[in-house]
């Protein structure tokens, strides 16, 4: 399934690789993180929101416009969108922040402290 393959690829970039794959279990997993502002929770929420949006957009494009993008193209759009959002965030310098900023190819100037 297209959406599952996209999600399985992207969840590795959240720093929490054991995230469930079903929509209802993902929402249950995210619910306690609603108010959290850790780098992992911010990235996870951004990845989830962008994934939902672009997978739905791809579904509509395939259904109504008869246009298809590859799995890699959709993943790249999601990664680019999340990365752009992360560039506007300010994070304190921690081991987790440095690891995740490396995964997302963020400049070190976006890390403070």
Interatomic CA distance for residues 55 and 12, integer angstroms: 17
What's the pLDDT tens digit per position in 38-49? Answer: 888 899 999 999
CB 43 within 8 A of CB 86: yes
For the chain, the structural domain boundaries read 2-112
Full-prediction pTM beyond 0.75? yes
Which residues lie across from 111 on neighbouring strands?
91
pLDDT at 112: 66
- Torsion angle, CA of 33/39/44/46, rounded to 10 degrees? 110
CB 13 within 8 A of CB 47: yes
> Which of the 8 DSSP states describes residue 111?
E
What's the pLDDT tens digit per position in 36-84? Answer: 888 888 999 999 999 999 999 999 999 999 999 999 999 999 999 999 9
pLDDT at 34: 81
CA atoms within 13 A on the CB side of 3: 14
């Amino acid at each position: 399934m297209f959406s599952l393959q996209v999600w399985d690829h992207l969840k590795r970039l959240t720093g929490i690789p054991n995230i469930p794959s079903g929509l209802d279990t993902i929402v249950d997993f995210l619910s306690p993180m609603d108010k959290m502002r850790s780098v992992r929770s911010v990235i996870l929420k951004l990845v989830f929101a962008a994934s939902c949006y672009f997978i739905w957009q791809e579904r509509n494009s395939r259904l109504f416009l008869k246009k298809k993008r590859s799995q890699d193209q959709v993943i790249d759009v999601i990664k680019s969108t999340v990365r752009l959002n992360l560039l506007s965030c300010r994070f304190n310098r921690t081991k987790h922040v440095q690891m995740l900023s490396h995964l997302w190819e963020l400049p070190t100037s976006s890390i403070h402290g």
